[in-house]
A and B are shown apart, each in its own frame.
Chain A
């Protein structure tokens, strides 16, 4: 019997509250930007900081209010953004153009809440333009972008760690100047420890999927990781993931799963699979094929041991390690924060083909995959970075591998009949492989 996650309610409430606070909280500081940048520095400005991250907001809005999102995307295109631009970007800019925003509890608010600051990064060449465009359309919003650099083993390279840390340090000075608020190292350090803890806890939860049956499937993983992407700096977010980790460990001990009929274990590369693909998910589910591991879901806002003795592993980091971290000075806290975000698999893979290849190989082995599903989003530079196409060449002879184009938001860019055909084909190949054929 399928297990029902009890922590789900906490997760959902947290996500909704974060968005509602951004929209409706009286006063406070509104911060907008990319949640691929370290968030803790924002929390050093006070305890009334309301954050909205472009990527998670676009993702969750697309799943919750698709009709609004279609209008947003068309508004962005009419405003000059290209058809093949990132759909998340267009959705977000479209909201600004329409002066309207919709959130995960289906609230649609007229009047876009203007941020006080934008705090972001350059994830890809397209993402680099995202908040510039938002700022421009809002008449100019103070904006600070951190160059995270990324790349394989980045968190172990002192040159890179220092580079990122120096920027964060300068960024903190900038935040004070621009907001007129005094920066509290106490609040900052607390937020840093929470941020690191959440990232490590999420990694632990994901690593439990190495067991058979995997306790969680992609659909639940995507539903459970919002607190980590939306705001991972709070005590509440730590509490939620500690509770969830305990719950999932218990599931493993009892051999339980949210999707107990797992005949085939799939490793997935691409943005959240289930948003655009309920039909594809159904085809897979009907044969007991479940996505048990995904680089995007695991490696964005999740940390693992990474490269150990030259090889990648998805083994988790002991959460107790976080409690022992020396964060006794601002610089030390900044340095640990830089390292943990640089350690994200996605930050490593997005700038290093060899790191992505290594983590893919490790994922297929450690999660005991029966198939590899590549479903990158059209015009997502991050998705296609470092060879999702080439990945087929590397894996095709080892394990049933299929690739189809899609888009997580924009139905116009999806190839639903083609994706359906390929998903059916994928199932066939996995069945045959299991029987010793394909």
Chain B
């Protein structure tokens, strides 16, 4: 008898709601929808999209497991949420599922960033989360990309072309953005400014991460983990190698499923 569960994981984040469908260890589909101002609507849309992408109907699911900052808003029969998992637990499980040699995950999300250490079974050992002033790194990064009229991928590529180190204000993202505009209007190369912005973000994350023992292997997750420029700076600052899990934005959603007995 096939005991593999067919589960959906929903990660209701500040900026995006992510959904995955897993049957056993197979990831059948994934989808992302902007959360905007309605977590429930976003979750519904994400679920619909992922079901389509996996080619299955909602009735076939054994259940939906929710995580993320707005997971409580998803509770109830509407989405058939059978369990709710704190995001740091889900992140640890998800990262471990994607890389079972990893013992630390650094998740850089839209609003919150955090680092988790876990044991050889993916059970959470410790967590550190950002402080108030460091909120919104992902939002900030997206904003800078928009300002420059490029995509986030292109922003990462641009930062990698930097040849000169410049500084932007470190106190808050608004000041950093303001200075970035100042510098570019004064003729500073956009690549150097892109690198300064990237460093601004990564230093926040790295400073927080150093509270943990940083047991290897260390993996990066969250949307910003897709930026090679971010990962390069992160490795340099925490003085450890960092690899990026596949589907870094879906670590939470995957981990939610695994936390509820999925992923086997």
Note whether A and B form a binding pair.
Answer: yes
Asked if A396 and B211 make an inter-chain contact with CB atoms under 8 angstroms apart, the answer reads yes
Asked if B126 and A428 make an inter-chain contact with CB atoms under 8 angstroms apart, the answer reads no
B213 sits at the interface (CB 8 A): yes
Q: How far is the CA of A405 from the CA of B132 in the complex (A)?
A: 7
B112 sits at the interface (CB 8 A): yes
A432 sits at the interface (CB 8 A): yes
Asked if B112 and A437 make an inter-chain contact with CB atoms under 8 angstroms apart, the answer reads no
B36 sits at the interface (CB 8 A): no
Asked if B124 and A437 make an inter-chain contact with CB atoms under 8 angstroms apart, the answer reads yes
Contacts of A378 in B (CB 8 A): 132
Q: Mark A426-438, 1 if CB is under 8 A from B, else 0.
A: 0011001000011
Name B114's closest neighbour in chain A (CB-CB): A425
Asked if A429 and B126 make an inter-chain contact with CB atoms under 8 angstroms apart, the answer reads yes
Shortest beta-carbon distance, B105 to chain A, in Å? 15
A279 sits at the interface (CB 8 A): no
Contacts of A432 in B (CB 8 A): 123-125
Contacts of B39 in A (CB 8 A): none
Asked if A421 and B126 make an inter-chain contact with CB atoms under 8 angstroms apart, the answer reads no
Q: How far is the CA of A403 from the CA of B135 in the complex (A)?
A: 15
Total A-B residue contacts, Cβ distance less than 8 Å: 49
Name A425's closest neighbour in chain B (CB-CB): B127
Asked if A437 and B86 make an inter-chain contact with CB atoms under 8 angstroms apart, the answer reads no
Q: Chain B interface residue count: which class?
A: 20 to 34
Contacts of B135 in A (CB 8 A): 415, 418
Q: Mark B59-102, 1 if CB is under 8 A from A, else 0.
A: 00000000001000000000000000010110000000000000
Which one of A418, A424, A425, A438 lies within 8 Å of B132 (CB-CB)?
A418
Contacts of B124 in A (CB 8 A): 428, 432, 437-438
Which one of A393, A404, A429 lies within 8 Å of B127 (CB-CB)?
A429
A422 sits at the interface (CB 8 A): yes
Q: How far is the CA of A422 from the CA of B86 in the complex (A)?
A: 11
Q: How far is the CA of A421 from the CA of B127 in the complex (A)?
A: 12
The residues of B with any CB-CB pair to A shorter than 8 Å are 69, 86, 88-89, 112, 119, 123-133, 135, 211-213
The residues of A with any CB-CB pair to B shorter than 8 Å are 378, 392-393, 396-397, 403-405, 415, 418, 421-422, 424-425, 428-429, 432, 437-438
Could you list some 23 contacts between A and B, CB below 8 A?
Answer: A392-B211, A393-B211, A396-B211, A397-B213, A404-B131, A404-B132, A405-B131, A415-B131, A415-B132, A418-B112, A418-B131, A418-B135, A421-B69, A421-B112, A425-B88, A425-B129, A428-B86, A432-B123, A432-B124, A437-B123, A437-B124, A437-B125, A438-B124
